[in-house]
Amino acid sequence: MQRGVADCFKQQHKLNDDDMSDLEKRAENFTQPQEYKDQGLYPFFRVIESGQDAEVQMAGRKVSMFGSNSYLGLTSHPKVKEAAIAAIKKYGTGTAGSRFLNGTLDIHVELEHRLARFVNKEAALVFSTGFQSNLGAVPTVVGRNDTAIIDEQSHASIIDATRLSFGRILKYRHNDMESLEKVLKNLDENKNGSLKLIVTDGLFSMEGDVAHVDKIAQLAKKYNTSVMIDDAHGIGVLGDNGKGTVNHFGLDGEVEMIVGTFSKSLASIGGFIAGSKGLINYLQHNARSLIFSASLPPASAASVIAALDIIESKNGLVEKLWENTHHAKKRFTELGMDIGDSETPIIPIYIRDNTKAFIISKILLEKGVFINPVITPAVRPEDSLLRFALMATHSIPQIDEAIDKIYAAGKEIGIY
Ligand SMILES: Cc1ncc(COP(=O)(O)O)c(C=O)c1O
């Protein structure tokens, strides 16, 4: 095995184990990434030298991108880029403060109105990332005598948000409505103003399945429970012209809190929570990840407004994304590939072996296709997969070529 970077560093600086602090020793003992690097299989932090498009440049050559969350391909849309540049010219590059104090710009407020209208809610509140939106929402709403009931496969930001809450946290089996009902049934009636909140992703980011928001809303009503849907991946993809998972089920009025992010279809970074005016006022004055963190940079706010302009102009991007999705799904099915139950532009190609998932993504990169392996602990070892993510800006020949290459690589390592 080759020597790792840490070994070289130790030798150069003439360090031995006794010179290291406990913290440094602990870091030193974390060797798994280096083991994959030594085998030439390490698939993370891969460097891209161009914009996040359907085709990117890596190590000076063109690579087809099937690992992006830019579902509508708007990060390099000329109007989005122009809006970001204009915002920098007008406002500069940062806000140097929290929304609560000196960091609220007129474009933050404009963006909040636009987002509220987009998801059919009274009001919205913009955070600096989607992750922070969840960190702001859950601990603020779920206090000491309250209960959050979450899908066991919720995104890490939901899990971490529950860890910040002083309330009770319960989990139900992934997208399993019987399991959810069992949890709800065992809970006491809301006493002394305590509340219960069901939290789940709308569209699950790794396996592409959609939360049963209709059944969740029914159960919520039956057991006097509130609902929060984190629609990071559903906004721009599902619902009427990309209005999201809740809209897809026609339940805009039933779900109290919708969380979204700008880092997927909305071409930037940042996040939001939408709900009633009262709820947004409550979050504005209590959500610590909002109050104690600087606000969204002006270029990001302007990019999202421009992205919304494009989506609302109904220029066919959402339809093209779905056309690509149906085409890809049909091809995978014809080839007999194991793609689970995905109903969306996120298609899991099950490899069911961590090392093979790494090997196949390496082979594919050599053949000019970028695709992310998803392994333990993100999924169980027997569920490891390649996450094939479609964009509206992929062409059908590009999709076909990628699928042929994935199939050929799978054959090469004995999966097909
Ligand atoms: C469901 C979900 N929620 C929240 C986030 C965090 O979003 P952001 O990248 O804006 O921090 C992600 C990002 O992957 C996500 O998938």
Q: pLDDT of 217-235, one tens digit each?
A: 999 999 999 999 999 999 9
In this structure, the answer to whether residues 107 and 241 fall within a common structural domain is: yes
In this structure, the answer to whether residues 291 and 341 fall within a common structural domain is: no
**Closest atom of ligand 1 relative to the 263 alpha carbon:** 10
Higher-scoring residue by pLDDT: 295, 18: 295
- Averaged pLDDT for residues 348-377: 95
CA distance 55 to 64: 4
Contact 366, 412 (CB under 8 A): no
Domain contains 115: yes
CATH number at residue 224: 3.40.640.10
- At 342 the pLDDT is 86
Name the nearest CA neighbour of 266 among 402, 154, 133. 133
Domain contains 73: no
What is the band of 2 on the pLDDT scale with cuts at 50, 70, 90? very low
- At 230 the pLDDT is 98
Q: pLDDT of 109-150, one tens digit each?
A: 999 999 999 999 999 999 999 999 999 999 999 999 999 999
In this structure, the answer to whether residues 405 and 289 fall within a common structural domain is: no
In this structure, the answer to whether residues 388 and 286 fall within a common structural domain is: no
Domain-ending residue, one of 312, 335, 365? 312
In this structure, the answer to whether residues 212 and 277 fall within a common structural domain is: yes
Contacts 24+ apart (CB under 8 A), 204-207: 204/153, 204/175, 204/233, 204/346, 205/69, 205/155, 205/232, 205/233, 205/346, 206/153, 206/346, 206/348, 206/374, 206/378, 206/379, 206/385, 206/387, 207/340, 207/341, 207/342, 207/346, 207/348, 207/379, 207/385
In this structure, the answer to whether residues 105 and 124 fall within a common structural domain is: yes
In this structure, the answer to whether residues 385 and 256 fall within a common structural domain is: no
Domain contains 368: yes
- Give SS3 for 262: coil
Domain-ending residue, one of 271, 297, 312? 312
What is the band of 14 on the pLDDT scale with cuts at 50, 70, 90? low
Catalytic residue among 233, 356, 362, 394: 233
Higher-scoring residue by pLDDT: 315, 48: 48
Which residues does residue 386 pair with via DSSP β-bridges, in sequence order? 349, 373
In this structure, the answer to whether residues 389 and 365 fall within a common structural domain is: yes
Domain contains 4: no
pLDDT for residue 213 is more than 60: yes
CA distances from 240 to 136, 202, 276, 309 (A): 28, 15, 21, 15
State the residue for tokens 């579902």: 71
Q: How many domains does the chain have?
A: 2
**Span from the CA of 71 to the centroid of ligand 1 (angstroms):** 14
Domain-ending residue, one of 312, 343, 378? 312
- Averaged pLDDT for residues 401-416: 96
What is the band of 13 on the pLDDT scale with cuts at 50, 70, 90? low
In this structure, the answer to whether residues 304 and 321 fall within a common structural domain is: no
Domain contains 24: no
Active site residue 212: no
**Closest atom of ligand 1 relative to the 270 alpha carbon:** 10
What is the band of 9 on the pLDDT scale with cuts at 50, 70, 90? low
- At 19 the pLDDT is 82
Active site residue 205: yes
The fraction of the chain above a pLDDT of 90, given in percent, is: 89
In terms of residue numbers, what domain contains 279? Answer: 78-312
Catalytic residue among 68, 128, 154, 205: 205
CATH number at residue 360: 3.90.1150.10
- At 222 the pLDDT is 96
The fraction of the chain above a pLDDT of 70, given in percent, is: 96
Q: pLDDT of 290-345, one tens digit each?
A: 999 999 999 999 999 999 999 999 889 999 999 999 999 999 999 999 999 888 99
Provide the mean pLDDT of the chain: 94
Domain contains 17: no
State the residue for tokens 């005598």: 145
Domain contains 26: no
In this structure, the answer to whether residues 335 and 398 fall within a common structural domain is: yes
Domain contains 8: no
**Ligand 1 pocket test, candidate residues 131, 206, 228, most atoms within 8 A of CB:** 131
**Ligand 1 pocket test, candidate residues 126, 199, 261, most atoms within 8 A of CB:** 261
- Give SS3 for 272: strand
Active site residue 233: yes
In this structure, the answer to whether residues 130 and 273 fall within a common structural domain is: yes
- At 192 the pLDDT is 74
Catalytic residue among 108, 121, 243, 264: 264
In this structure, the answer to whether residues 61 and 194 fall within a common structural domain is: no
